[in-house]
Amino acid sequence: MSVLKSYIQIKKRNASISWKIAKKSKTYYLFLAPYATLFFLFYVVPVVVSVFLSFTYYNVLEPAEFIGFQNYINLILADDVFLIAVKNTFLIAVITGPIGYLAAFLFAWFINELPRYLKAFAVVIFYAPTISGQVYLIWSIIFSGDAYGYINAFLLNLGIINEPVLWLTNPQYMLTVVIIVTLWMSLGTGFLAFVAGLQGIDQSQYEAGYIDGIKNRWQELWYITLPNMKPMLLFGAVMTITQSFGVADVPMALTGFPSTDYATQTVVTHLIDYGSVRFEMGYAAAIATILFITMILCNKVIQAFLRRVGT
Amino acid sequence: MEKIAMKKKFRIKKSKPNRSFGGDLGINFILIFFGLFMAFPLVYAINSAFKPLDEIFIYPPRLFVRNPTMNNFQDLLVIMGKSWVPFTRYLFNTVFITSLGTAGHLLIASMGAYVLAKYEFPGGKAFFNLVVVALMFSGYVTAIPNYLLMSKIGWVDTYWAIIVPSFASPMGLFLMKQYMEGVPDVLIEAAKIDGAKEWRIFSRIVLPVVKPAWLTLMIFSVQGLWNTRASNFIYSEELKTLPYALQQILAGGIARAGVGSAVSLVMMTVPIAVFIIAESNILETMASSGIKD
């Protein structure tokens, strides 16, 4: 009993201490208040409502009906397409996530070594796939299944193939095509954040490095650049996770929706299928919640890993 | 003597003292190779906008335009001239949403990020974690709760349904907070000793130091808002955004393919212009705070 009592007492004291600090930090709360208000209203509330909906049957027209864990049970035990989607999503995420992340950093770092005007030019070129909006649609022309597709025309001309390959409708190739295009687009948010981050490193640290005998660019990278970039690396990692687990636009635009044999169904296209085609919002919300939890776990692992950088 | 002079003349200037020549060469080679791969969509988009219709459907397909023509743009102007709502109205809508949304987002997110990055106060850490976690929830599902919320507030079919939520986009706060962690504490303490109030420190000292971050954020925000179709929230024809209106043009099908490529080029110009201006400013800033810890 006394243990519990002292525990409560400590908690009470802690609470009163933090209350005192909170009163002192009034200015800080004022700074945060506009963002916090809007964030709770437009981001937290909808997410909470969605998680709640995942325990209901909700078809948008009738009021939501509480059904407990039924959506989750159906999802895992009865939905074969969901398992395909999970497999595809993991495959896409495992390949495009790490490669895209490393490429974004390496290119940002390489470009940072260039002289100034060339640097600006190179950043524009490498960010082009992202800035030009829906321009990835040109890949549907490049990989087009008839002889008009660039790749088919090229291979036919060389005589490597005798008839056009159905890149976007033959399940054998579809996922590969999606992975290639996703990789091509992966130098997005993270890349620009890295470019900005590299710009913010105090140059005098490098000069100190030369004097302290840093021999080559790799040592400089590990001992000076990476430790300085830690916050940006973390940002890039989170953005990479959200992007690589959230792949949906590319497969939908290139291979159709739904795709042949669900060969490029991802978790998010599955979600869109239930959410905006079949209007089973409860089920769609359950898919979103599972994806959400997976991403959070993945984020935890990567954060632990990034903590060891530069040590 | 002569030999040394020769050597000096032909030596390629190294960017930094501890770089190997081979490494520089290799890196430049990699950059050129992947650069061509990355530049492809831009080259393609620019070329096809100037292609006459027969060249768009030529076999075998060609990347570069042979007989450049302005027909696609003229057709676009004709279609725009025939539209029921004057086309400048669509343009105004998108410019309004983009500029107000970006300005508000930059201000509100960096204010929040500043106190989260530089001060410890109860609830600060937890709030930040919540923001990072919120990034990971799929936007497709929150569309319906969001719509219900907007209709409760009465913002359906107004600009505000797009602008106000964009103020609080989690990515912006996350980016600014991460970048502001690099601002030396000494800088802020020195300003405090000089008697500066928080707002002054924030606007006069921290914001200029983190210029690369908010310029980057501006690029993201403009890019996102400029391409917003907003079809979930906006129904009145005179409030529709430019991408929405242009999408209606493209619904004309294959006969509009030429106009379509003109449209994508026109849509790209503004984000690219903003991007180039902002990025050249980012690359100009050389970080040297002048303060050694």
Percent of chain B residues topping a pLDDT of 90: 18
* Residue B289 C-beta-side C-alpha neighbours within 13 Å: 21
> How far is residue A70 from each of residues A56, A78, A270, A278, A286, measured CA to CA in Å?
8, 11, 18, 17, 10
Of B17, B268, B284, the CB nearest to A133: B268
User: Is the confidence at residue B15, as pLDDT, over 70?
Assistant: no
Q: How confident is the model at residue A85, as a pLDDT?
A: 92
Residue B17: pLDDT band with limits 50, 70, 90: low
B57 to chain A: which residues are within 8 Å by CB? Answer: 148
User: Is the confidence at residue A276, as pLDDT, over 90?
Assistant: no
Task: Name the residue with tokens 């029921």.
Answer: B84
Q: Do A39 and B182 touch (CB under 8 A)?
A: no
Of A46, A292, A296, the CB nearest to B146: A46
**Fold of domain B77-284:** MetI-like fold (1.10.3720)
Q: Do B31 and A110 touch (CB under 8 A)?
A: yes
Q: How confident is the model at residue A135, as a pLDDT?
A: 67
Q: Do A32 and B127 touch (CB under 8 A)?
A: yes
Q: How confident is the model at residue A134, as a pLDDT?
A: 66
A272 to chain B: which residues are within 8 Å by CB? Answer: 140
Instruction: Say which range, A14-28, A276-290, B142-156, has the weakest mean pLDDT.
Output: A14-28
User: Is the confidence at residue B109, as pLDDT, over 90?
Assistant: yes
Ramachandran assignment for B226, one of left (phi > 0), alpha (psi -120 to 50 degrees), beta (any other):
alpha
Q: How confident is the model at residue A96, as a pLDDT?
A: 92
Listed by number, the residues of chain B in 204-263 with a beta carbon closer than 8 Å to a beta carbon of chain A are 210, 212-213, 215-216, 219-220, 223, 227
pTM for the model: 0.85
Query: pLDDT by residue (tens digit) across A195-239?
Result: 888 888 877 888 888 888 777 888 888 888 888 888 889 899 988
Q: Do B134 and A124 touch (CB under 8 A)?
A: no
The residue among A31, A89, A238 with the most chain B CBs within 10 A of its CB, best to mutate, is: A31
Q: Indicate the DSSP class of residue B16.
A: S
Of B112, B135, B285, the CB nearest to A242: B135
Pick the more confident residue, B104 or A261. B104
Provide mean pLDDT across the span B213-236: 87
Query: pLDDT by residue (tens digit) across A114-141?
Result: 887 788 888 888 888 887 766 677 777 7
Query: pLDDT by residue (tens digit) across A71-111?
Result: 999 988 888 899 999 999 999 999 999 999 999 999 999 88
CA distance A199 to chain B (A): 6
User: Is the confidence at residue B292, as pLDDT, over 50?
Assistant: no
> How far is residue A206 from each of residues A203, A228, B155, B251, measured CA to CA in Å?
5, 11, 52, 55
Q: What is the ipTM of this complex?
A: 0.84
B46 to chain A: which residues are within 8 Å by CB? Answer: none
Query: pLDDT by residue (tens digit) across B83-103?
Result: 777 878 888 999 999 999 999
How many beta-carbon pairs below 8 A join chains A and B? 288
Question: Which of A93, A91, A127 is closest to A108 using CA atoms?
Answer: A127
The residues spanned by each domain of chain B are: 77-284
* CATH numbers and ranges of domains, chain A: 1-53 (no CATH), 73-306 (1.10.3720.10)
CA nearest B39 in A: which residue? A125
Average pLDDT, chain A: 86
Helices within B50-193 (DSSP H only): 53-56, 71-82, 87-118, 124-134, 139-153, 160-167, 170-180, 185-193
Pick the more confident residue, B289 or B217. B217
> Of the segments A148-152, A158-162, A226-230, which one has the largest average pLDDT value?
A226-230
Average pLDDT, chain B: 82
Of B112, B173, B179, the CB nearest to A197: B179
Q: How confident is the model at residue B282, as a pLDDT?
A: 83
User: Is the confidence at residue B253, as pLDDT, over 80?
Assistant: no
Listed by number, the residues of chain B in 154-213 with a beta carbon closer than 8 Å to a beta carbon of chain A are 164-165, 167-168, 170-171, 173-175, 177-179, 181-182, 198, 202, 210, 212-213
Residue B196's CB is within 10 A of a number of other CB atoms, namely: 16
